[in-house]
Structure 1
């Protein structure tokens, strides 16, 4: 019985190291989304930090600021969704088959 417990602890430590490595790799990734046919592009890293926003000059219209705001929101929400999906795909492999409520 003691050998099984030691083996399980080693497996848990190995999985924890793999999870930490996977999370670090996710944080290094870059994600990009655009809206309005490329008129607004938002770039974020895997930490869900917006690192760049590009707005094409032709979309800037002082009479229609609302459209520009909508495009920025759409691109930002899209890039955050991409990060969330990638995180779930990557980190979900560690909890697959485990019945642990609240995990990923």
Structure 2
């Protein structure tokens, strides 16, 4: 019957870790990230859920004869902010998967 006590302790540990993981995920989802391109001409803000919250475009970057440049700046800033979210997600949630098979795959 000694093995049953260890199993109970292990289940408690898992529940405790799950609560910590959920709290960390909730905190991550509430975070805001910001990235800019073109020396601040385009700025994109996102949250930890990878939802774009805001896009700011400086008036002087809007050139009807060069729409492609504006598109490139928006793409660069958006990709940068989403990469920031990915990195923070891996840093935050990876602590819960270290040492597990397939761990760190967030």
Question: What band does the TM-score fall into relative to the shorter chain?
Answer: over 0.9
Counterparts of 2:93 and 2:103, CA distance in 1: 15
Counterpart of 1:11 in structure 2 is: 13
Counterpart of 1:66 in structure 2 is: 68
Report the CA distance between 1:30 and its aligned residue.
0.2
**Per-residue Cα deviation, 1:44-103 (whole angstroms, up to 9, x for no partner):** 011100000000000000000000000000000000000000000000000111123684
**Per-residue Cα deviation, 1:11-65 (whole angstroms, up to 9, x for no partner):** 0000100010000000000000000000000000111000000000000000000
Counterparts of 1:53 and 1:2, CA distance in 2: 55
Runs of 4+ in 1 over 3 A off after TM superposition: 100-103
RMSD of the TM alignment (CA)? 1.2
Counterparts of 1:34 and 1:51, CA distance in 2: 14
1:37 aligns with 2:39: yes
Cα distance change on mapping 1:69 and 1:93 into 2, 3 Å: same
Counterparts of 1:36 and 1:61, CA distance in 2: 14
1:85 aligns with 2:81: no
Segments of 5+ residues of structure 1 without an aligned counterpart are: none
Q: Across the two proteins, how many residue pairs are aligned to each other?
A: 104
Three-state SS of the structure 1 residue aligned to 2:33 is strand
Segments of 5+ residues of structure 2 without an aligned counterpart are: none
